Amino acid sequence: MKILPFNSWSELSAELKRRRVYPIIAGYAVVAFIVLQIGEITFGPLGLPNWVMVGLIVVVILGFPVAVVLAWVFDITPTGIRRDSATSPLAKDTAARPSIAVLPFVDMSPEKDQGYFCEGVAEEILNALAKIRQLNVAARTSSFQYKSGAGDVRDIGSELGVESILEGSVRKSQNRLRVTAQLVKVSDGYHLWSKSFDAEVEDVFTIQDEIATCIAESLLETLTPSEQSAIKTTSSTDVSAYEYYLRGRQFFKRFRKMDIEHARQMFREAIKIDSEFALAWAGYADCHSFLVMYVDPQASYREEANRASKRALELSPDLAEAHASRGLACLVCEEYDGAEEEFKKAIDLNPCLFEAYYYYARTRFHRGDMDMAAELFKKAADVDPTDYQSRCLRVQILRGMGRIDDAIEEAQEAVAVVEGHLKWNPDDARAYHLGAGTLVVLGDTDRAKRWLHRAIEMAPDDPVVFYNVACNLATLGEKDKALDYLERAVEHGAVSVAWMRNDEDLASLREDTRYAELLRHVEELEQAASSTTDH
């Protein structure tokens, strides 16, 4: 019977080392030896009976397991003793299940212009594996930081906390396709499975499905019929539509207004080619929802988000991404009950879908339920440990609730995640302005202001940047400057009344007449937009 969730003594030993148990054992042994030596030397001359020495020996022996347990549970640091909150992935309950990370496939094409296609193939396989509840699959943003062949898979696997790595390459030339994939065991670097495919580009769906199935069969003893049917990597059968969809997804992840527009065009082209491509409809809907949230809350965007998200659900009612897309469309239309129902369905279908937790949390924020919003942001961060947004927004909520100690502790982790993200994405203005708020919590105001200035330089016309700069300046007590930026945010695009009302970062501005006028203006804009929207 397996008592602890470790696959070998080396894993247990690594966890003991991480928790600093070995130094405590060594220190305890030294102290115990000194105490016993002192007792042996002094108890006799002091005339103490023998049973006192025996009692001391018993106390020392009984104290050993207590010291080991305390060392496991608590960290002894230069700043004091604290409970160990950083749990190793291998020490979690889910460690009993096989774990895997899928790295982005390498572009081996002659022109080196198929990066979007290579990443898309790998991501489709990752998403298919994530549907199997017997598997722990590292989130895309965690594993896609690493390029296949860019380092030792044993080191990468250790950093990601997984037992196996899938890496591969794609060579695409005209209508021919060569895909190579290999599953590597992290502990020793040996291949568990590998295969190469030479086929027409139109066969990419079959190749993706076969790789996902082979990986699942290699890691699991059995697959249920429902799991076998779930391992289908895309809902399209047209490779041209699929390529447009992959390009759209690549643009969409960049988050900038221009990229959202490009993504919308790509998804629209995919739908023109394959009108029953549910994922493309979901992506198309998300573009319009994002335009409402971050650019301009005009009625036509809300209408398109509604129409496209409903179409995605009609085409694929069991697709988690379609429910998440529908939930997001309901959120931007302020249909909060409907949004929450869709996010719950998405999570039930795919418990590893980050977007469902993240936008469910934002929905609770809009409704003023900060406790649940904070909990959902935490779940989003658990699903994707490399996401900075959920962490920074949770820190913001904790600070607003007056839980300063919790906010500071989580801010330290959040800043580390932001820094790791910026290492790979130095042009992400959103990381700078959300991260700045976390630095403010830590008291690092000079660096926070530098990050805010950097965000403004990178996105000088972005209303989301203006809004978050206003929040941080308000927190720092610079009310006039904060109101200036809040005015610019309202002038340039979308500011939500519900978010503005519930955002405690703006608390210091609420008694100011300028703030009251701005809030009234935003309310009028939302009323005008909603009055022309047919839900």
pLDDT of residue 16: 63
If pLDDT is split at 50, 70 and 90, which confidence band does 448 have? very high
What whole-number distance in Å separates Cα of residue 484 and Cα of residue 314? 45
Segment (H or E) for 182 = strand 176-185
Would you say 327 and 348 are in contact if contact means Cβ atoms under 8 Å apart?
Answer: no
pLDDT of residue 188: 85
Give residue 96's pLDDT. 65
Q: pLDDT-based confidence at 402, cuts 50/70/90?
A: very high
Does this model's pTM top 0.85? My answer is: no
Q: Which residues contact 464 (CB under 8 A, 6 or more apart)?
A: 294, 430, 433, 489, 493, 494
Does position 463 have pLDDT exceeding 90, yes or no? no
Q: Are 122 and 159 in contact (CB under 8 A)?
A: no
Please compute the mean of the pLDDT values over residues 39-44 and round it to a whole number.
Answer: 78
> What values do phi and psi take at 511, rounded to 5?
-90, -5
| pLDDT per position as a tens digit, 201-236 | 888 888 998 999 899 888 887 666 766 766 776 666
C-beta of residue 236 within 8 angstroms of C-beta of residue 248: no
- What are the helix (H) ranges across 81-194? 115-130, 140-143, 153-160
* Domains along the chain with CATH numbers: 20-83 (no CATH), 97-233 (3.40.50.10610), 236-350 (1.25.40.10)
According to the model, what pLDDT value does residue 420 have? 87
Q: Which residues does 488 contact at the CB level (< 8 Å), separation at least 6?
A: 463, 466
Q: Tell me: the pLDDT tens digits for 7-30?
A: 444 445 555 655 567 677 777 887
Pairing type for strands 164-173 and 99-102 reads parallel
The pLDDT assigned to 260 comes to 92
* Percent of the chain predicted with pLDDT > 90: 48
- Over residues 57-85, the pLDDT tens digits come to 888 788 888 777 777 666 544 334 444 54
Confidence band for 5, pLDDT divided at 50, 70 and 90? very low
Asked if residue 411 lies in contact with residue 398, where contact means CB atoms within 8 angstroms, the answer is no
Structure tokens at 482: 């904060």
User: b/e map of 349-371 (b: 16 or more CB within 10 Å)?
Assistant: bbebbbbbbbbbbbbbbbbeebe
At residue 94, the pLDDT reads 47
Give the pLDDT confidence score for residue 363 in this predicted structure. Answer: 97
Q: What is the mean pLDDT of residues 242-248?
A: 92
pLDDT above 70 covers a percentage of the chain that reads 86
Contact predicate 306/342, CB 8 Å: no
pLDDT digits (tens, 9 = 90+) for 286-310: 999 999 988 888 889 999 999 999 9
| Residue 323 pLDDT > 60 | yes
How does pLDDT run across 348-377, given as a tens digit for each residue? 988 889 999 999 999 999 999 999 999 999
pLDDT of amino acid 75? 52
The more confident residue out of 424 and 472 is: 472
Give the 3-state secondary structure of residue 191: strand
Token readout for 216 is 């699942």
Cα-Cα-Cα-Cα torsion 395, 401, 406, 407, nearest 10 degrees, comes to 30
pLDDT greater than 80 at residue 116: yes
By CB atoms closer than 10 A (0-12, 13-18, 19+), residue 441 is: buried
Q: What is the pLDDT of residue 15?
A: 57
What is the bridge-based pairing of β-strands 191-200 and 176-185? antiparallel
Give the mean pLDDT of the chain.
85
